[in-house]
Each structure stands twice: as structure tokens, then as C-alpha cells.
Chain A
Amino acid sequence: MIILENVHYKYEPEGIEALRGISLQIREGEHLALIGPNGCGKTTLIRHLNALLLPASGKVTIGGCNTDNPKHQAEIRSMVGMVFQNPDNQIVGMTVEEDVAFGPENLHLPTVEIKKRVAEALIRVGISELACRNIENLSGGEKRLVAIAGVLAMQPRYIALDEPAAFLDPAATKRVLDIIDKLHFEGVGIIHITHNMAEAALTQRIVVMNEGRVYLDGTPRKIFGKAGMLKKIGMQLPQITELLIKLKESGFPVRMDIVNMEDALEQIRSLAGKIKD
């Protein structure tokens, strides 16, 4: 379990308070989307989960380990993997396997174990054939998968991803999101920053942040049911939700807590049936 208790954080020397009393609990195996306007503290928050940033006040504990304790940091970094927004700024090795091995090498594992973990991580993200490829010859989507594999090789219980689909074309986005889904299915806890509401709608839980605070927290149905509150902080809604709002405004009796295509289609079919009758 990840537990944040009244976490405050201020960037020095600017003195900007990025987190203002965040309290949150994230269960193991949970798929959580972190959304909110730019500068609301999403990246600052996930950097606390990996002990890259330490709270100015408050407490962050990962699996019972306090991030404030330097003795726990290695264990915490093995438990929570971090995938940065730009894979070019994260990849250390010259070739795919070299980069994926970087984490296990830092864990002082023997060569045999490092090789095993590298092979397993590459299989899990489906890029075994790229093992010996030079990083510079990979596409943006492939680099993103290498970054995820690099984190997986450390066998984390949670992965925090900072906009994993940013700058990717639809095919690469689908590939990356499918891998994230697969990892969640395998039991890895996912904390996923995104600006794409359709992506957020596919998770189990959405935490909306605004001005360094938790603004809303709940299931996608609950969150997108509060369209007014989201619009108030400049957030867009999934297209499905927008469509249902328009239908409701036109006088159709539709439910507003629908977030996926199948349920929306069902609603529209039943509406069409009623009109026909």
C-alpha cells in the first residue's frame, strides 16, 4: 500500500508550493489515473512515490517504508518504478538490453540474474527482437516500451507513468496502453498521469488534482458524472460524456455516469428503441 499523509512540497528557490496537503492511499494492483490541469502538481506527486522528492512536511510510506529514511530508499525504488515523460531523458544505455540492465545492475544482482530479468522484461513488453538494437534507431513508441522494460526489470510492485502516450501516434499509443493494461492484469499497480480523458476512463480510479490538492477522487463513472466541477478547472470530458450531455440537454433521458463506448451504445440503442415505439 502507498500512503500519503498530508504531504506538502515547495520548489525552492522560487517558493512555489506544488503540493498542499495531499492525503491519498493507493492499493497494490490498483490502476489509477492522475489527471488535472498543467502545473497542478501531478509530476511532483509521483516523484514523491519513488523518493526522488521528499515531502517538506507530511509522510509518504511505500509498503511500510518511509521515503524520508535513506536506508529505505533502495527498497522503495525497487518497489515503485518510474517512467518519465520523455524516454530520451530516461534511457541510459546505448542498446536496448544495456538500458534494461541498468536497474538490476544498480541492485547489485549477479550477471545470470541480470540476463534473466532483462530477457523477462523484454518479453513482457513484447520487444525481445529489439534487444541488441541501438537506442538511436528506435521509434518513439519503441523507446517508451524500452523505458517501461527498464523499470520492469527491477520487478516493481507499482509503476508510475508520466504521460506514457505523449507525442505518440495512435498505433504506438495503443501498443503502450495495451502493455500497461497487461501489466495491471498481471498485478502491477499502475499510477498513470494523463491528459487524455478516454485513457483515464479506462482505469479503476481517477484522482483529479488542482492547485496542489486532491480535487476529486473516485471511479471514472463518479468523476465524469461531475462534469460541471471538471469544466470549472478547465478539464475536458471524454467525447462519450460530451455526447451524453448534449443528448440530455436536448431532452433525452440519458444516464450521465457512462464512460465507455459499449455502455454509451447500449444507451443510444435503448433511446432509439423508445423513439421507434
Chain B
Amino acid sequence: MYHIGSFIKGQSLLYNLDPRIKIAATICLSVFILWVKPLIAFVIGSTLLFAVLANGISLRTIGQALKPLLFFIVLIFLVHALFNEGETLFNIPYIGISISYAGLQQGFVVIWRFLCLIIAAILLTLTTAPSQMIAAIKYFLRPLKVLRVPVDDIAVMIMLALRLMPILLTEKERVEIAQKARGYNLQRSGLIIRIKAFLSLTLTVLTGVIRRADELALAMEARNYQRGERTSLVELKFTSPDYLVLIFLGVFLVIFVALNSHFG
């Protein structure tokens, strides 16, 4: 099952690229996706999907990652489709809201851009080992050390958050199964009972996770963890493909900014 920080080991140019390049490229691409005209956004999205498949990532995985965001995707689409003025395509009976062609078009374009952003982020996390990602974040945050920002501690915090994510999900499933095993059937219950069950589930899961976090802190201490600077297993090194992608990215950005400032 996909969750933030999931990584699928593979071999391709994208997998082997330096994580700093991948993060920089993803940020540039995200700005680009929001900036460009709809047709270009469609081309970018299709290219991203091609990149997903070319790197051996299944569409099912992408579907799993998008599932929790489905509500927001539908909401964003509806807001644009329902509240955009334009030539009426059809009226919704009883409510008195009309849907325009422009609204539908706007809705599709916005969710397409949104999907492109998410797919780019998923592609980044699925093709980059968490340790590589953390090393890259640490690299980018390094200048903040001058301002006494605890960069190394932030890196460890990210690592622990990624580590605790699947534990949190497992804990939730465990409590749900335990509730079901004792005849707790939420499908047949009313709203109040469901809210109560949700609160009880949240409390139990949180208690379990805090207990585990406490034990984890002890285990980290046992392995000599102390706040502050640490060395790393990951050594970030640029190779030839990294330089090529970096040059491509630079040239691309210059052309993009130049064209934009010229043609608006």
C-alpha cells in the first residue's frame, strides 16, 4: 500500500539521478505546471504518466496514492464547474444552479494541474530512497545552520515521521480489527455512534503511537543518538547524467523565463 515515503527499488535514469536534482526539477516542474497554458499542462501530465510507467510504477500505485485526495479533487472540480459564469450548458433542477461550458472546462483544467502536481511528487518519492531524500533536504537546509536552525535534528525528525507513518496505519488497522472482533459493526450504526467510534479509535491509536514513540526514543538513545551533527551513510555525489540534467534544467528555465517575459 502506498503511503508518504514509500519507495520502490528500481533501476532507471530517474532512480539513479542525484536526489538534489530530482527535488529541484520537481519544484521547477510544479511552478511550470501552474504557469503554462492548459494544452502544455496536458502534454506535461501525459509525459509524467509516461515517466511513471517507464519507471515500472503501476497505475494502481498512483490510484492508491490519489485515493485519499479524491474528496478534494471532486470538491475543487465542483467549485469551478458550479460557480463559473459563462454560456449555460444545462441547469440542475430544483437547486437553480446552471453549469456552463467554461465552468466545466475550468474545472477539468484545474484538477488536471492538481493531478500533475501530485503525480510529480509521487514520482519523486517512489524513485528516491528516503535516506537519499533526507540527505538532499539536509543539503538544501544547510545554509540555515548559520541562523542556528537545527538542520540535523530536522532531518532525523523527517526520518522518524516517515518511519512512524506505516506504524500508525498498522496500529489503526489493528484497533479496527480488535473492535470488529468484539462485534463492533459501524456499518449499521448511526452518526453519533460513528463519531464516538472515531474518537475512541483516534485515542487508542494515539496512545499506542505515543507508547511506541517513547520506546523508539529509548532505542535511539541506546544507539548513542544525541541531538546535533551526525555523519551519514548517504554520500551525495553528482555524476555525468546529473550534470546533463542540471544543464538541461538551467537552459530550459532560462528559455522559459525569457519567453514569458517577452510574450507575457
- Report which A residues bind B (CB closer than 8 A): 50, 52, 73-74, 77-78, 81-82, 84, 86, 88-95, 97-98, 101-111, 114-115, 118, 132, 134-136, 150-151, 154
Contact = CB atoms under 8 A, between A and B. Distances in A.
A103 B163 contact: no
Nearest to B219: A90
A105 B223 CA distance: 10
Contact of B167 (A73, A88, A118): A88
A78 B220 contact: no
Given A92-B160, A106-B224, 6 more contacts: A81-B222, A89-B215, A92-B220, A92-B223, A94-B162, A154-B223
A109 B162 CA distance: 24
How many B residues touch the partner, as a band?
A: 20 to 34
B131 interface: yes
Contacts of B9: 132
Contacts of B229: 108
A160 B216 CA distance: 17
A114 B159 contact: no
10 interchain residue pairs of minimum CB distance? A101-B233, A89-B215, A90-B219, A94-B130, A82-B222, A103-B223, A77-B224, A106-B224, A111-B235, A98-B131
Given A86-B215, A110-B231, A136-B166, A98 B224 contact: no
Contacts of B235: 111
Nearest to A86: B215
Interface in B1-16: 5, 7, 9
B212 interface: yes
Given A91-B163, A106-B230, A111-B233, A77 B223 contact: yes
Contacts of B167: 88
B233 A114 contact: yes
A98 B130 contact: yes
B232 A114 contact: yes
